[in-house]
Every structure is written in C-alpha cells, then in structure tokens.
Chain A
Amino acid sequence: MLAVEVSHIVKSFVDKVVVNDLSFSVAQGEIFGLIGPNGAGKTTTIRMMMDIIKPDSGDVTILGEKLSESTKNKLGYLPEERGLYKKLSVLDSIIYLASLKGMDRHSAEEKASELLNQTGMLPHKGKKIEELSRGMGQIIQFIVSIIHDPELIVLDEPFAGLDPVNTELLKGMLIDLRNQGKALILSTHQMNEIEELCDRILMINHGRSVLYGNLAEIKSKYRSNSVLLEFEGELGEVPGVTEKRTHKGYVELVLDGNTTPQQVLERLVGTRIVVNRFEVATPPLNEIFLRVVGKTHE
C-alpha cells in the first residue's frame, strides 16, 4: 500500500494557478523530498494532502483511503509556519496536541518524556513555550509531529532555523523513522540540505512537476562527464581526458565522449601518482534544478 498517492491535483487562488496537474506517490519506508524554490507550490500541495484545503480537482489518497478523521490520527505534520500556545508548558503543549491525535494522557506523557530525553529537552519540560529559543520550539514541534507514532510524517522546511547540532540530531531521528517503515515527506527550498536523506524526490517549479523519481538515478542522469581527483605526484597526460580544471585541493578531469570513469581509474593506477580520492562528479541538486529550469525556460 502506498503511503500517499496524489493524482492530477490543481489548486488556484483568485486567478493564480498555484498547483497545476501534480501527480506523485510516496511508498512506506522511504524518505521523499518535495523540493523547489520559494513559491513553487510545495506548502499548498502539503496542505491539500493534509486536508487543510481542498484541491479544485484531482485526488489525494493517504494510506490507501481518502483522508478522514481516523486517517488524520496516522499523520504527523510539521507546518512551515511554527507556532504553539505561548503560555502553555512544553509538556502540556505536547500532551494536548497528542490528545487531538487520539492519544490518552498517560501514554502521551510517557512518550513525550522519552522523546524529550532523546532530544536533550527533558530539563525544559516545565518551561513555558515563550521561554524557549526558536530552535528549541522547533524541536518541540517535531516531537508533536511524531509522538503519536504516525505512519506518514510530513515535514515542511524541517531544518530551517536549526543549529548544526540539532540538524544532525533531527537527520538521525528521520533515518531511524524511515528504518521503522514510516513514510516521510520532506519539503524544502534548500535542496542540498536533504540530498543525503532522500530516496526519491519530486522537484516542482511554478506548481508543475519538473523532475520526479529516484534521486540516485536523477543524479546519474545529470552527472557531468567528469571525475574529481585528489592525488600526490606529477599528473601527466591521461588518455581520454580532454580538459584538466584545477580547483582548490583537487583536479576535475573532463572526459571525452568515449571514455568511462572506470577506464580513467585504470589508467591512473598505471601511473606513478598516489590517488587519495577518486569520485565521479555528480552535480548538486540545486545545480540540476537550475539546469532543468533553464531548459524548461528555453
């Protein structure tokens, strides 16, 4: 059963089409990246998935059925715009929002303490939300979105405003959740940030899909025909290499059309140099985005 199946959804506000004929699916046990620049229609798409707003046309199926009150309890959602009841304590906030997801007080309290402990927030559980820093508030909201053990977790810009330590902590927790078989959707405009996490991606621009599929396949499809090399010694002429671009600490070797990176590696091993790093160059996601968008603009 697919965690999410979105088919041909369209949404316009006033006269502007914000989401235009978008279709995608998310399987259980995968991290799915919904990426695109600001204003691409990511948040609107998520709100339609969450049944906060209705699409003008098209269908959304969540965990095999149309979203209903009972399915909502299997969803976890971290909205882009963050907010909690400022005057409420951390623990009470978590317990109240967990109760809306059908948890009883006792198990909510138990699970909240466990997650607060895991995130290092346990000493702050009695504090009011308004006393927390922005990043801490975000951790609390993340806890709220996963406390009820949802099968599908949708996180809109999950790393915005987090320091590197908390970013790593969150990434670790997301991978754990994926390994438990949960489906995760990460939406962000900072494409490079989620590259290492995502199994598949949907890249959207102006409400339309521009790239959709397995991240590794997409990257290999868009890889430039070059390798990155760090070495010690004198690098002479390498057959099949048309150009050597020197960067700080490494060299980029641009291959001719008939040579594969494997052949270059074999030839390098035959020379006297010591190879410290050999990497097939793949462009980062935002570079791929610029290339795709550039193409669609042409």
Chain B
Amino acid sequence: MTVIVPLIALLLIGVSQLVSGIARPTVEAATIGYVDELGGFQQYTSQGNITLVRFDTPEEATDALINGDINEYFVIPPDYISTGVINRYTLEKQLTASPAVTAVINNFLLSNLLAGKVPAATIARIEAPLNLVSTRLTETGAVAPEQGGYGNLIIPFVFSILLALSIIFSSTYLLQGLGEEKENRLIEILLSSVSARQLLTGKVLGIGAAGLVQVAVWVISTPILLNLASSSIGGFVSTIRLPANFIVLAVVYFILGYLLFAVLSAGIGAISSSSREGQQLIGVFTIPALIPLWFTSLLMFLPDNPVWVFFTIFPLSAPVEAIMRLGVSDIPAWQLVASIAVLVLSIIGILLLTIRIFRTYLLMYGKRPGIGEIIRSLKTG
C-alpha cells in the first residue's frame, strides 16, 4: 500500500502519456468530406489539423470514403436551417463522433453561417464565448494568496481516498494479527512478558508508525509525480496549489485517524473470537469513515451546508471529511479545534476502555461476550 500507491500513480502517468501519444497522429491526419445540399458552405475548410473536402453528391463522397481518401463525411440537407440535422457517415464502429470531430463540424457550420454577416473576430468569440477567470479577494480587497478551483481540490480528494483505504487496510491488518495471536495462543506468551497495557499501546503505536511512514512516502513522492505528470497532463496540474496549512493538517488528521481506528480495532480484536468475526464487526465503524466520500459531489456544490460541520466533528468521519473540506473551502478554526479535540479524546477514551476489557476477553477463546457482559466488565474492570 505504502509504495504501491505512488507506483500506480506512476503507471497511470505512463499510460496516459502513451495513450495521448497514440491518439494525436489520427487527429492530425483526418480528412472529412461533406456534401453541401443547402449551399453556402465553402469557407473555413481548414480547421486546425482537420481538412474538410467538398463533394457534389453523397455517392461521390461514399466512393471516396470506401477508397480511403477521406475518414468520414457528412451531408448538410436542404432543410438544415429549420431542423439542424446533419447526417454523418463513417466506416468506424463507434458510440458517437469524437469530441474533436464534433467541434470541427460545429465550428465549420457556425463560421459559414455567419460569414459576411458579422466580423471575423466576432465569429471567433461566438465559437468560444466564455473564458472564466475567477479571482478570490481577501476582506481587504487584495488578491488572496490562496485561490480556489479544481486544482486545489484534487490533492485533498486523492489524499482523503487514500486515507480511507489506509484506515480499512490497517484496521484489517491489526485485527488479523491479533486474531491470529489469539487463535494460536501466542497471546499467553506475550502477556507473560508484557502487560495488557503495554501490548495494546505497542500495537496501536506500531500501526500509527506504519501510517506515518505511509504518509511520508506519499507526501515525498507527490511533488516528484506531479513534475512527471505535468509534462503529459499539461496545464491542469500546474494549477494545483495546495493551501499552506494543508500538509500540516493532513498529516495530523492522517495520524489521528490511524490511531482512532487502531484502538477501535484492538478493542474489537479483544472481544471477537476469530479474526474473521473481528473484520465483520470493524465494518460497522469503517463505514462512517467512508461516508464523506459518498457525498463528494454534494460537498463540491454545497460547501457551506451544516451537515459537513457534523461530519467534521464526529470522530469516525472527521479525518476523511476534514481533509476533503480543506480542498473545497476554508474550515473555521473553531471547527478544526473541536474536531481535533474530539478525535484526541475519543482515542484516549477508547484506549482506556479497551485496556479494561482487553485482559478479560483476550483469553476467552471461541466465544464472543454479549453487550451486557462487556458493560459489566467495563464497570468491574
């Protein structure tokens, strides 16, 4: 997981470079035929890399298509002005025309329809009327150092998905380890050497350290990968600007999220009779961690909804939610403080509770205690 994620990213960059490398020449070589039954479509036959060739009849165009002189052709019918219908003919099996071809035909029709009626510059503007440039201002009216936009969103979103995955993997890993130690009775040797508190703290810190290594590898590899990617994906990646406090908060939430689920897993591992049963039980707790990911699109379009405040403070969903929100909008300081405080308190609280029940149930093989029994043993400890 630690090294696999950067490796997969590297692979994706490689594939995207390869695909874009293969895709480009076909666009360059395209020649599209057309039959003008309405009349008046003679100009603008050279559209970027695609050349348009006029034919007098559909039969001539079909012959040219079969001979391979053109890649495809379209017919502008006499009633085009009233219907808008263009008939396109191709030898390829495809769902629809490629975006590049559609844009070329669109611009060709538009330019010819407006030719002579408005200035050329206006035609160009009608083709692309909106190039929206947003600028975020601070309260004093100056340009804000942190600008929003999708560039800001992508890293936090990717990071939150990775965090959710890591939480699931590490909880499963801890439960599996503890389950095995219970199943093969190694736990007795461990407990005759260290106390239940030491054993539990060691497991939680071990998983926490593994999380730290993971996040360190990802944080270090991200700039390197972005550099590699920018040569292929182009301008979009260069718009990525991480909020200044993002790295610090992301690391804090990553570690706290890891620790929370580590103590939860240890507690569940103590009371469940096998590692399989433990993995089923932990699912109840990992689902809230994933909930913020389900509402990604809602969060993007309604970033100020009070529901997100709840998810930011509720400890199980807090790590993933907070990291996602950091990419969409600002999180008020009080929410961050409340969220981190609740997380820390939950970790300590669950750790203390787990230590109380750990010793009691660790040696009960093959039988899971009921809720009432657990509550009783929490009281008697």
Contacts and interface: CB of A to CB of B under 8 A. Distances in A.
Given A47-B363, A52-B363, A53-B363, A83 B195 contact: no
Contacts of B191: 50-52
Interface string B176-198: 00001101111011111111001
Interface string B190-223: 1111110010000000000000000000000000
B193 A81 contact: no
Contacts of A53: 359, 363
A112 to B, nearest CB: 15
A84 interface: yes
Contacts of B186: 83-85
Nearest to A14: B373
Contacts of A51: 191-192, 195
B198 to A, nearest CB: 7
A97 interface: yes
Interface in B107-148: none
Contacts of A75: 192
B184 A69 contact: no
* Range for the number of chain A residues in contact with chain B: 20 to 34
A78 B184 CA distance: 13
Contacts of A73: 193
A73 B193 CA distance: 7
A53 B360 CA distance: 7
B184 A83 contact: yes
A54 B181 CA distance: 21
A9 to B, nearest CB: 17
Interface string A32-50: 0000000000000001001
A7 B181 CA distance: 31
A75 B194 CA distance: 11
A100 B186 CA distance: 13
Nearest to B193: A100
Given A47-B363, A53-B363, A69-B198, A97 B188 contact: no
B181 to A, nearest CB: 8
A81 B188 contact: yes
Contact of B188 (A54, A69, A77): A77
A100 B190 CA distance: 8
Interface in A224-270: none
Nearest to A53: B363
Contacts of A182: none
B185 A77 contact: no
B189 A144 contact: yes
Nearest to A93: B186
Nearest to B202: A100
A79 interface: yes
Nearest to B199: A100
A143 B263 CA distance: 33
B363 A101 contact: no
A72 B184 contact: no
A86 interface: yes
B195 A69 contact: yes
A69 B185 contact: no
A87 to B, nearest CB: 10
B193 A72 contact: yes
Contacts of A52: 188, 191-192, 359, 363
Contact of A69 (B189, B190, B194, B363): B194
A86 B189 contact: no
Interface in A47-73: 47, 50-54, 69, 72-73
Contacts of A85: 180, 186
A263 to B, nearest CB: 53
A54 B196 CA distance: 12
A178 B152 CA distance: 71
Nearest to B373: A14
A82 interface: yes
Contact of B192 (A50, A83, A86): A50
A52 B186 CA distance: 12
Contact of A79 (B180, B181, B185, B195): B185
A100 B194 contact: yes
A47 B365 CA distance: 15
Nearest to B365: A81
Quick one: which of B180, B181, B189 has the most chain A CB within 10 A?
B189
Given A69-B195, A84-B184, A97 B189 contact: yes
Nearest to A145: B189
Contacts of B363: 47, 52-53
A77 B188 CA distance: 9
A189 B184 CA distance: 22
A287 to B, nearest CB: 32
Nearest to B185: A81
Contact of B194 (A72, A77, A83, A84): A72
Interface in A98-130: 100-101
A146 B318 CA distance: 48
Nearest 10 A-B pairs (CB), nearest first? A83-B184, A81-B185, A100-B193, A79-B188, A77-B192, A83-B185, A83-B186, A50-B192, A52-B191, A101-B193
27 contacts: A50-B188, A50-B191, A51-B191, A51-B192, A51-B195, A52-B188, A52-B191, A52-B192, A53-B359, A54-B359, A69-B194, A72-B192, A77-B189, A77-B192, A79-B189, A79-B192, A81-B185, A81-B188, A83-B181, A83-B183, A83-B184, A84-B186, A86-B180, A97-B189, A97-B193, A100-B193, A101-B193
Interface of A: 47, 50-54, 69, 72-73, 75, 77, 79, 81-86, 97, 100-101, 141, 144
Given A77-B188, A83-B186, 18 more contacts: A50-B191, A50-B192, A51-B191, A51-B192, A52-B192, A52-B359, A69-B195, A69-B198, A81-B185, A82-B184, A82-B185, A83-B183, A85-B186, A86-B180, A97-B189, A100-B190, A100-B193, A144-B189
